[in-house]
Amino acid sequence: MVERTRDDAGRPRNARPRDALGRLLAPGSEGVPRIPDDLALPPSDSLAYAQDLLDRGLAFNAHEVLEAAWKSRPAEERSLWQGLAQLAVGITHIQRGNLVGASNLLQRGSGRLSEVGRPAPHSVDIDGLIGWAAGLVGDLGPAADISPSRLRPTLTRSSAGRG
């Protein structure tokens, strides 16, 4: 059995390169740049970074940024960051063609976001994201033809009209 790289706490880390959709590549392959496991940014920077990655079609990497925020932010913000990370994973599943997984993660992420008080911390557009996810889930099906632009939700009210 191959030994996996582990962090200081003993959690497994996979050092293999990944493609733009987060799929593992063969050792030695060139993949997209990885998000550091120990990424620690202020909330506004995490949201801006995740937004940029989503806008570039890199939802898996956006998920990693949002997951890092979820792990480093206070417990009272857990539903916010977990919900955002799950939405990004839902987008990743659509990009990979797994529409059932996408629907499940988008609904789970929306459920987490619905637990967040209003107004949401860090200007996150909770209601807009829940509506976006519901519309997307409603359009997923065997003949789904989801355009890449629909996979770029606006995370915060302050980034509305970006372009």
Domains defined along the chain, listed by start: 41-159 (1.10.3450.10)
Please tell me which residue, 41 or 4, carries the higher pLDDT value.
41
Residue 117's alpha-carbon distances to 45, 98, 106, 112, in angstroms, are 21, 31, 19, 11
Mean pLDDT of all residues in 111-120: 96
pLDDT of residue 10: 63
**4 pLDDT exceeds 70?**
no
pLDDT of residue 14: 63
This prediction has a pTM of 0.87
Report the distance separating Cα 120 and Cα 155, nearest Å. 11
According to DSSP, the residues that pair with 124 across neighbouring strands are: 156
Residue whose token pair is 């939802």: 59
